[in-house]
Structure 1
């Protein structure tokens, strides 16, 4: 369970992180990327406004002291074959995916030479970060849409293959702010994963090996569906309510850690 210890850390952000003030979350990403020696590659595949969004992160990361920040633009699939972008990844000590539409990340990057370079650098110890859509794409199966509801149903969530940086986990972002507990529960029932992680805005988990630590202003909602004793999925129609019994829930604010192998908070 969890990423292999030889891999770099993952910084998974719930979106709307502070980029102009203390930048608590982004500060930790830069620190993991090498601090004042950091070479950061900003991946703007998710957004339809790559220049504007890229500039925001160039400014933020440079203000925090990163030595260099370069945008790797992938506005179409063919861009992921570009030697210049691949070279930027090969030199990077931190790779950061911006927000937007997570489906664009998978469509433009997954399975490409650029993707191969990203995975190789991660295996070599480079940190990968992502916010909003850049967080949603982290699992094997990602949430691409759905309703903000309290009660789960089959039509409360839509799913698609993700990038697979964090296997056996389901991630939802903007969690408390948009009331997404119902769709995370629906996702866990429809596409069984070991754990579901709801990440609030301006909040992140830093995953190292089999543990993650919470940083930021909000909290992480951990849903352990592996303890479930019953659901009524069999025979259920699309708009009918899902029943789910025996699920375990943890709410973890900044400073708390959680073991992905034992499914227990580290107190």
Structure 2
């Protein structure tokens, strides 16, 4: 298992062909991807960083409850939290049917939002009710214009173009350990799994990477988030993020494998990154940033 750690100064000047690797010129907004079960009563560390990233006391938040079967209760809970943290405004968008994603009031809320937050629940509900609608288009437009997209649990799983729909917590990966389907496309080429260490999901993430070849797999623990700006993410929270780099793989036995047979996977790199570590999505190199340094 290789672990090439750059210090902040080295990573800041690293360049390829005279062009900085970091995507500092991108106008696109940040992604705040939370592994679920985030603290909602104490220090609120993860949700606090979402609000800070979305504009702090000037943040205008749209809460998306599509994933949950209890939209009113969940919407009210996040409204209370975000208002307590000082957001300028918080409005909830309920999409309990696909037609709800065509409502003019919902489109207006998203167009004015600096942060758009997807709650937990079932990620398939997000895709079924929003993907391909006018609301989907407006959310992606706001993201390209600089709005922050956040999500927890199901709201984290839906971030890639291909998402993990479900599966079993297994020690050894197999074809039937995971199911995959279209996601919302904010994070192409990467797979995300949540509640990661708490539910023992390394096996299913490895299986997903073999079945749906992607550059990286990100397993995010509970009460933990990654904040993606340009080509780099930072880890925030009480747990860790497991990064599986499949690009270094030298072998797998997927060809000819039956669905209940074990997957062999050789040569992948594994990084475990707690709070304060960063990871470059282009160079695939982690680094630790000392407090007070960028």
Match of 1:258 in 2: 279
**d(CA) in 2 for partners of 1:194 and 1:54?**
34
**d(CA) in 1 for partners of 2:120 and 2:281?**
25
Ranges in structure 2 where 5+ consecutive residues have no aligned partner: 1-20, 289-294
Equivalence map 1:129-140=2 (5 Å): 129-140=150-161
- Could you state the TM-score of these two structures normalised by the residue count of structure 2? 0.89
Ranges in structure 1 where 5+ consecutive residues have no aligned partner: none
**d(CA) in 2 for partners of 1:147 and 1:116?**
33
**d(CA) in 2 for partners of 1:199 and 1:143?**
13
Aligned-pair Cα RMSD in Å: 1.2
Which residue, 162, 165, 169 being the options, matches 2:186?
Answer: 165
1:266 CA drift (Å): 2.1
**d(CA) in 2 for partners of 1:116 and 1:154?**
33
Q: How many equivalent pairs are there?
A: 267
Verify: 1:104 aligned to 2:104, yes or no: no
Verify: 1:113 aligned to 2:130, yes or no: no
1:20 CA drift (Å): 1.1
4+ aligned runs moved over 6 Å, structure 1:
1-4
Verify: 1:153 aligned to 2:174, yes or no: yes
Which residue, 167, 188, 206 being the options, matches 1:185?
Answer: 206
Verify: 1:19 aligned to 2:19, yes or no: no
Verify: 1:35 aligned to 2:56, yes or no: yes
- Could you state the TM-score of these two structures normalised by the residue count of structure 1? 0.98
Verify: 1:124 aligned to 2:142, yes or no: no
**d(CA) in 2 for partners of 1:215 and 1:184?**
21
Tell me which structure has the larger Cα radius of gyration.
2
1:33 CA drift (Å): 1.2
Kept in 2, the 8 Å contact 1:223–1:249? The answer is yes
**d(CA) in 1 for partners of 2:58 and 2:75?**
20
Match of 1:220 in 2: 241
Equivalence map 1:50-61=2 (5 Å): 50-61=71-82
Match of 2:112 in 1: 91
